[in-house]
Amino acid sequence: MPVAIRLATSADIPTLQDLIPASARALSRVYYSEAQIEAAIRYVFGVDSQLIADHTYYVAVDDETIVGCGGWSWRRTLYGGDQRPMGGGVLLDPARDAARIRAFFVAGRHARQGIGAKILATCEEAALKRGFSRVELMSTLPGVPFYRQSGFEEIDHVVDTLPDGTNMEFVRMARRIS
């Protein structure tokens, strides 16, 4: 049975709270130290319940098991979960702003099987319907190759100093959609 993409619901939050850290630990080790990964899980990587409430967050389901997640937003927040959203919740204007691609995570054993691409396509289609012609995101280092392959271009390299003093490098990226 192929992986299905559906809107996330608040009932999915406990599963996402397990999936997100597991994904970060499995897929980030080559790019970040263990201390950086654990700090990011504490301060950056987490569920953003606003995306779920806005009906802009999706889960990938394989045989009734959630194996991936990701979303988009018409709000200014660029990254972060409920514990530390970065960018504020101000609404974006599709005529001048890019929609935000947000919080993509895939279970380690399901990585590189097209799940992220399916979620990204779903997000871009929804953003287009909402009137956006551009998308941008803040990528983790492990996500950069995926987003480059998907046509995103690097805008800026960013170092975020987390509340515990840990520095995390991210890459801001964008592209046009049609």
Domains for the chain: give ranges and CATH numbers. Answer: 4-176 (3.40.630.30)
The pLDDT of residue 40: 96
Give the model confidence (pLDDT) of 71-112 as tens digits.
999 999 988 888 886 777 789 999 999 999 999 999 988 998
Count of CB atoms within 10 A of residue 63's CB?
8
Sheet holding 99-106, edge to edge: 4-7, 57-62, 65-73, 99-106, 134-140, 167-176, 153-161
Distance between CA 147 and CA 64 in Å, rounded?
27
The pLDDT of residue 139: 97
Give the model confidence (pLDDT) of 20-73 as tens digits.
999 999 999 999 999 999 999 999 999 999 999 999 999 999 999 999 999 999
The pLDDT of residue 34: 97
Short-list 27, 124, 40, 155, CA closest to 86? 40
Q: How wide is the angle at C-alpha 73 spanned by C-alphas 70 and 75, nearest 5°?
A: 145
DSSP 92: P
The pLDDT of residue 1: 63
Give the model confidence (pLDDT) of 102-160 as tens digits.
999 999 889 988 999 999 999 999 999 999 999 999 999 999 999 999 999 999 999 99
- pLDDT surpassing 80 at residue 171: yes
The pLDDT of residue 86: 73
